[in-house]
Amino acid sequence: MDDLLRSDNEMRRELGFGALEAMLQTSHFSLFQRFDFGGRSRDFGWFPRRRQDILDWYGAVLAMCASHDARDAETSTRIRAILSKHLWGLWLDMALYDQVDAICRQFHEVRFWPEGWTAIRSVRRYREESLPEEVNAKLSAIEKVMAPQSFEEQVRGQVLRNTHDAYDDIDFRDFEAQYARRESSLIELGKTMAAETEILDRLMPELFLCSTAITLGAFAKGLIDATSDRRGLWNRLIASFGLAHATERSPELLACYLYNLQSVDPELVEILLDQLLNNPLLSEWFPAFQGRVSISNGGLARLQQSLAKGSAPAERCVGLGGRAKWTTPRSWSLCR
């Protein structure tokens, strides 16, 4: 596996990442089917006979994670994303408390690890049975060490999250109150970010890899509330979007920006939507942008133009009838 991860061949590297994820699995090893299939004799594979076998297995895998984390930024990002998904199992299924403690602290010393911090918080907050006091204290200590400290880390830890992790912060027994508090915190982060132009420029590539509306929406509102030159900020966002990786970037931040901008400057929103319709970089996402704001007669005309030009796939109009806010009669058809 080490050779696969170090390979210059992308396909071999992907095999290496897949093998790493499989080696970190801690449960659900069984199948409903039999293992004796095919032309050769097979069984379920190696089975640890002693606790030490388990420690040796996962110890070797975690050592490999640490080794490749230090190689380069791209590899480190993949390694950390894979490992964070398995911290729950390593802690609760395998009880590798010292090993998880060590790898978390080692990764954190290099740089902030938001996915790891989120995973550790999830282990501490959501489990069926209480952990022994000593074990719970160790888990709390890890969470405290890994928690975001700087403003930049707070943005990475609270805004740049996937949808599952974003909801993981909210206890459904007190959903509305906790959701409102988290939204208020995100708005304040956006307001602060509006004045931290260097940090914003540094984080923009990461912001355009995030597609989580429930965090980006409140963050964008904070940006708009604290910005006087909203047109200038929009232009900066557009320029940064163009530099993001074409197959990985998400237009969600731009859509959230338009949604929040409509309540304070609807005329500017109309101007920006007219420009987006003919923007070669962003026209493919036009239905998503128009669908985030009220669809007036002008908005309907723009959607019809978008379909006529074929600049955006027709399936991106799916849902406009239900999710979008229409200020023109629904009897109008996009197909006219």
Domain range annotation of the chain: 1-27+48-147
**Cα–Cα distance measured from residue 237 to residue 217, given in angstroms and rounded to the nearest whole number:** 15
Q: Give the pLDDT score at 124.
A: 80
Q: What are the pLDDT digits (tens) for 87-144?
A: 999 998 999 999 999 999 999 999 999 999 999 988 887 666 677 889 889 999 999 9
Residue 149: pLDDT over 50:
yes
Q: Report which DSSP code applies to 295.
A: B
Alpha helices in the chain (DSSP H): 2-6, 10-23, 51-69, 73-84, 87-92, 97-110, 114-125, 133-146, 151-158, 163-168, 175-195, 197-207, 213-225, 230-243, 252-261, 266-277, 286-291, 297-309, 320-323
pLDDT at 227: 95
Q: What percent of the chain has pLDDT over 90?
A: 62
Angle, CA of 324, 315 and 206, to the nearest 5°: 75
- pLDDT attached to residue 29: 66
Distance linking the first and last C-alpha atoms of the chain: 57
Backbone angles phi, psi at 295, to 5 degrees: -100, 100
**What is the reported pLDDT for 43?**
61
With 50 as the cut, is the pLDDT of residue 331 above it?
Answer: no
Q: What is the pLDDT of residues 199-253, one digit of tens each?
A: 999 999 999 999 999 999 999 999 999 999 999 999 999 999 999 888 889 999 9
pLDDT of residue 91: 93
**Comparing C-alpha atoms, which of 23, 103, 94, 101 is closest to residue 61?**
23
**Mean pLDDT score across all residues of the chain:** 87
